[in-house]
Structure 1
Amino acid sequence: MSRSSTEIMGIPDELFHWIPDEMVVVVRLPRIPGEDTQEVLIEQIRVQLNEFLAQYSLVLEAYGTYGRWSETPTLPPIRRRAFIFGLHHKQPLIAIFFHTRHVDPTVRDPVPMALSYLQGHLEHLAQTGLHVVSAMPNWLVTAAPFYADGGPALPPHPAPALPSPAPANALSGWHVRLMDSGIPLDSKGAEDVLVAVLDTSPHPDRLRSAATRPELRRNWLLQRLAMDLRNEDGSFAVEYDRYPQSNEVSTGRDNAGDASYYLMPDHGLSVAGLIRDVAPRARIRLVRVLNDYGGGDLYSLFAALTDLEREMVSGSIRRLVINLSLTIMPDIRRLPYIWFDHRQWPTTQLNGVIRVLNHVEEGLRLLFESLQSHGALIVAAAGNDSSSAFEKGLSPRPPRAPARYESTLSVSSVNSYFAPSKFANAANIPPFDAGVATFGGDSYRATSADGWPDAVRGLYLSPLFPMGEQNTSGWADWCGSSFAAPVVSALGAHLMAQGWSASNVVIRLAAGSQERRNEHLFGSTPDAPTLLGNIIRVQQRYGL
């Protein structure tokens, strides 16, 4: 580790799963409210909830007026406190963000207490006409202050420096190639499809400036994205400050898999670059919903996804793929012990426990189901939490949300030998099987058959890498399901451009890229049995 790396990477003091004092309440409405009545509606719901919570010494405050905003006045101001979705239903949904306050200031985080009271009295609230379908903490969202479990499997490292046979001024670099012909590619490069990448992002000016740096001028992918950005024709757009971010939430791991945070604004750019490589004419919109440390919360995610739903309803987006190289919440097996603080429950209480666990994420499930109902293809990374399980000879961890939802196409990771990556979570949770695996690299010091690091080569603009190495080419070695997901998103764009529906795309891609004969009438063994998914085989090679 170089001397400067200690200034780039940090070790968190504590692990969090949600923003303390903040919660989200999802309410079913009788109709879509008018723009001029939405603030009145939000306040009426807050007053009704406060009338109930007062007996427990709890108060809900308007979002952006308490908590973090009172402690840090420089935080971005809140312009919207609620988001409407489920526009395909006669009775839409509204997600309202609140601060939660206990009258006793020594109560550190009253969110679990407030949610427990609400979840235990849903029938009472319904009798007043208030139909609460979900109440949940403001879960952290991470490419996985606060620190959240998630992020790439490893920090990025410089890609191998290879000699190029091309002239000194010729563009060169790494390309992804689909190895099997079973997935038909669109002859027009998926030009009629928008791929929205919700992730981190560098400022557009930083990307344009990087393309002029002498050491990066031969990077074909960087030059292509910079040209697309300059054209301003929608082929590549960056929404950098539409959803303002703060740097309170961070994520990441070091080479040993231990918690370490570092700047990763290029995470989303690398994801977008992989999509451009595989789908050369798709329209790509890089939307910054995570901060420069790869962290965020539900607020920006709800804002971006509900805005996309409105665009689909209006007809301004016809064919949409949403790439989510991010994770939300603890995995489904850990959630009960985190939420209930390792309590054991008698059998008579299990139904109530299951109801509570469903309620603290039902709003998220409904949000993704809403987008799916409008025809969006949602591709989500399964996560990188299984290194410890691999070392112990155990099965991989289950996919994280939103990859584990039935409305999404989950993507796990295999290495260059098409064996499960050591860190890879499973692609599916039975009985669902809408998941697949593709190349996402492997653990630190793992090598490919060529003797190079077993990693995905993607874009990287920062002058220094997290471990302090110099960036001399604009190419980085990344590892994680974050970088497997964009390959699948790009292939999904190819199929949608040919008229495939999102549901049929999921079925086709989940089948993998090889034809197989079923030994049994009920089905066949998946390509990667431990990941519970088939494999789409791709290679990445260096060339012109």
Structure 2
Amino acid sequence: MQHMMSMNDNMHDTFWRNDQIMVVFRSDIPLVSDGILNEEPLLQKLNLPLQLQGINQFLQINQVPVTLAFLGDDEKPAPPDQPALSKANSGDNSKLPPGVHLFGLTSPIQTDYGVINTSVISFLKIDKGSAQGAGGTPSARVLPGKGHGSNNDESLIPTIVTTLNDGLDDLNKKSMVPIALSAPAWLCGGTPIGQGCPLTPPMPVEDSCSNWHITLPDLDPQLQSLMGDGVTVFILDAFPERGVISRAARDAGDDNWLLSNVNETVSFDYSMMSGVQEIRDMVSTGNASVGKDVYGEHYPILMPDHGLFIAGIVRDIAPNANIECIRVLNDLCVGDMSKLVGALWRIYNRMLSVNPDTGQVGDLYQKPVVINLSLVIPTDEEAQQKQINPGAGGFNIIQADLFLAITSLTQVGAIVVASAGNEGDLREMPPGGKRPMALYPAAFGNSIDNVIAVGAATSAGAAASYSCYPGPRGIATYGGEVPDVQPLDPPSSNPVVTVKDAPRGIYSSVEYPPLSDVPADPPEQYY
């Protein structure tokens, strides 16, 4: 595979939640030392409510018209000089506020403002219009080129983040707030974010698939006989509701053994994103979606089976592994960092000698853990197009929360397997263009041990036309190729599609999305 350093411009237009930001605080206290959990003294020393008050005072001084609050605070945030007596600000500094996640580091990170032994990744909600100018009258600061009208929301997140990151020196040295960086609450999506996987919509298989298996003929002979015993595999992705999976398995019966097996042996966790949460969050994510039709045209496609498909692959090649599926992407295959980092944090806690959630030895302590992330986050270029400077405090703020979380996970033994991304779609690239480098989090494989970037290959062993380059430390595995379509040029309400090289997998829906974004009447024309 060849690669290129710059991506196609204007590929996405939605990159973050409009109601949250992320702040990383640093602590010089290790989360766990000599088998002792230090969460309580760490939080008492850090005093997060006080630090949040300091940040809000800084925003007020700089005339940024917002007040930040911890997630889950039902009380409307008070102005910075009159902190609300909420749960997080009640004086009990040893309690972890909602949306705050502690990741310990066995190898500390040295920053310009101090050492990080524990990174405190905090997602904060935004209360608009709360800050006031020094004279007591409402005032507002926005980035240059932005007005004060109804479209001002577009500049609000960059204004908050830029103000905090430009003020790191004052915050750390004058206000004594141990903040490492601030960033938007980035969206993440099923390869890639905001638009989507260039693979076509799923299509039904007409012949029987009752007992087929994936074969790995080139796998090392010593690995061929391994069945995944003792390994826990986490799949963080989009999944249908649990009842939908059970119904599909029941209806398929003996005709789909793999779906039945997944239904009976795989656990599904919807606590990070339930159906109700999905509907609520779509407002703050601008109804961002992923998906392309058979022409490579972008249009929303419901893909709740994205993660179920992956679970089927894992179950088939590792029949004895323990598989846990955590829903962090919605039915449009879009999620956000607060849910993804929250899910990673739960896994991390279970891998510790003392699980902060239980006070007992983590059930995954010193056990093999694999985490699958078939999703990506925005790029530096995309952030810069939206007036976000990627660099702050010695970190890349686009990657920082995932970098810190994944670093902590790999330091306790987790292996992270991540999709390199599908942004290499030749249908969108100029003739002769080189395929993009792997997107993050897969690109962490270039610098973090135990992170494996995975590109896609065809059945002939060639690089798939849509795949990003996984890098010199990455691998490629079978992903198939986009189908042929007639007529060659869109639009078409009734395209004729020829599947030439496509992977088979399990699927739960009784309906299939259209092959083209041009409406057809009746819908049965599509299949």
Task: Note if contact 2:233-2:370 (Cα within 8 Å) is conserved in structure 1.
Answer: yes
Instruction: Provide the residue aligned with 2:403 in structure 1.
Output: 365
Secondary structure of the structure 2 residue equivalent to 1:23:
strand
Task: Note if contact 1:390-1:423 (Cα within 8 Å) is conserved in structure 2.
Answer: no
Secondary structure of the structure 2 residue equivalent to 1:256:
coil
Q: Supply the AA of the counterpart residue of 1:237.
A: S
Secondary structure of the structure 1 residue equivalent to 2:438:
coil
Instruction: Provide the residue aligned with 1:117 in structure 2.
Output: 163
> Aligned to 2:68, which of 61, 66, 73?
61
Instruction: Provide the residue aligned with 2:370 in structure 1.
Output: 321
Residue 86 (str. 1) matches residue 104 (str. 2): yes
Secondary structure of the structure 1 residue equivalent to 2:461:
coil
Residue 131 (str. 1) matches residue 178 (str. 2): yes
Residue 246 (str. 1) matches residue 278 (str. 2): yes
Instruction: Provide the residue aligned with 1:410 in structure 2.
Output: 453
Instruction: Provide the residue aligned with 2:16 in structure 1.
Output: 18
Identity between Structure 1 and Structure 2 (%): 28
Going from structure 1 to structure 2, the CA distance change for 1:154 and 1:224 (only over 3 Å counts) comes to: same
Going from structure 1 to structure 2, the CA distance change for 1:378 and 1:65 (only over 3 Å counts) comes to: closer
How far off its partner does 1:115 sit?
1.5
How far off its partner does 1:261 sit?
1.3
> Aligned to 2:305, which of 249, 262, 266?
266
- Relative CO higher for 1 or 2, CA cutoff 8 Å, sep ≥ 6? 1
Separation of aligned partners in 2, 1:207 and 1:367: 30
How far off its partner does 1:133 sit?
2.1
Q: Supply the AA of the counterpart residue of 1:83.
A: H
Residue 454 (str. 1) matches residue 489 (str. 2): no
How far off its partner does 1:210 sit?
1.4
Instruction: Provide the residue aligned with 1:43 in structure 2.
Output: 49
Task: Note if contact 1:139-1:329 (Cα within 8 Å) is conserved in structure 2.
Answer: yes
Secondary structure of the structure 2 residue equivalent to 1:409:
strand
Separation of aligned partners in 2, 1:319 and 1:61: 39
Instruction: Provide the residue aligned with 2:264 in structure 1.
Output: 227
Residue 290 (str. 1) matches residue 296 (str. 2): no
Instruction: Provide the residue aligned with 1:508 in structure 2.
Output: none
Identify unmatched segments of 5+ residues in structure 2: 1-11, 32-37, 78-95, 109-116, 132-139, 141-147, 283-287, 354-361, 486-497, 517-527
Residue 142 (str. 1) matches residue 224 (str. 2): no
Secondary structure of the structure 2 residue equivalent to 1:99:
strand
Identify unmatched segments of 5+ residues in structure 1: 1-13, 71-77, 165-170, 229-235, 342-351, 470-544
Residue 336 (str. 1) matches residue 336 (str. 2): no
> Aligned to 2:512, which of 465, 474, 480?
465
Secondary structure of the structure 2 residue equivalent to 1:416:
coil
Instruction: Provide the residue aligned with 2:463 in structure 1.
Output: 420
How far off its partner does 1:15 sit?
2.8
Q: Give me the TM-score of the superposition, normalised by structure 1.
A: 0.69
Separation of aligned partners in 2, 1:205 and 1:35: 40
Going from structure 1 to structure 2, the CA distance change for 1:37 and 1:98 (only over 3 Å counts) comes to: same
Task: Note if contact 1:134-1:360 (Cα within 8 Å) is conserved in structure 2.
Answer: no
Residue 187 (str. 1) matches residue 187 (str. 2): no
Instruction: Provide the residue aligned with 1:499 in structure 2.
Output: none
Deviations 1:153-203 (A, max 9, x none): 2243324322x5xxxxxx724421112143632635111100000001122
Residue 211 (str. 1) matches residue 217 (str. 2): no
Secondary structure of the structure 2 residue equivalent to 1:392:
coil
Separation of aligned partners in 1, 2:212 and 2:200: 19
Separation of aligned partners in 1, 2:394 and 2:107: 25
Separation of aligned partners in 2, 1:63 and 1:453: 51
Task: Count how many residue pairs are aligned between Structure 1 and Structure 2.
Answer: 413
Going from structure 1 to structure 2, the CA distance change for 1:401 and 1:222 (only over 3 Å counts) comes to: same
Residue 98 (str. 1) matches residue 124 (str. 2): yes
How far off its partner does 1:291 sit?
1.1
> Aligned to 2:338, which of 275, 299, 311?
299
Separation of aligned partners in 1, 2:22 and 2:368: 30
Task: Note if contact 2:200-2:483 (Cα within 8 Å) is conserved in structure 1.
Answer: no
Separation of aligned partners in 2, 1:268 and 1:375: 23
Separation of aligned partners in 2, 1:61 and 1:273: 42
Going from structure 1 to structure 2, the CA distance change for 1:181 and 1:303 (only over 3 Å counts) comes to: closer
Q: Supply the AA of the counterpart residue of 1:125.
A: L
Task: Note if contact 2:273-2:329 (Cα within 8 Å) is conserved in structure 1.
Answer: no
Task: Note if contact 1:196-1:323 (Cα within 8 Å) is conserved in structure 2.
Answer: yes
Deviations 1:456-492 (A, max 9, x none): 11111100011289xxxxxxxxxxxxxxxxxxxxxxx
Task: Note if contact 1:192-1:282 (Cα within 8 Å) is conserved in structure 2.
Answer: yes
Going from structure 1 to structure 2, the CA distance change for 1:96 and 1:124 (only over 3 Å counts) comes to: same
Separation of aligned partners in 2, 1:355 and 1:64: 24
Deviations 1:419-471 (A, max 9, x none): 1111111112xxxx32111111111328xxxx8531111111100011289xx
Structure 1 vs Structure 2 CA RMSD:
3.2
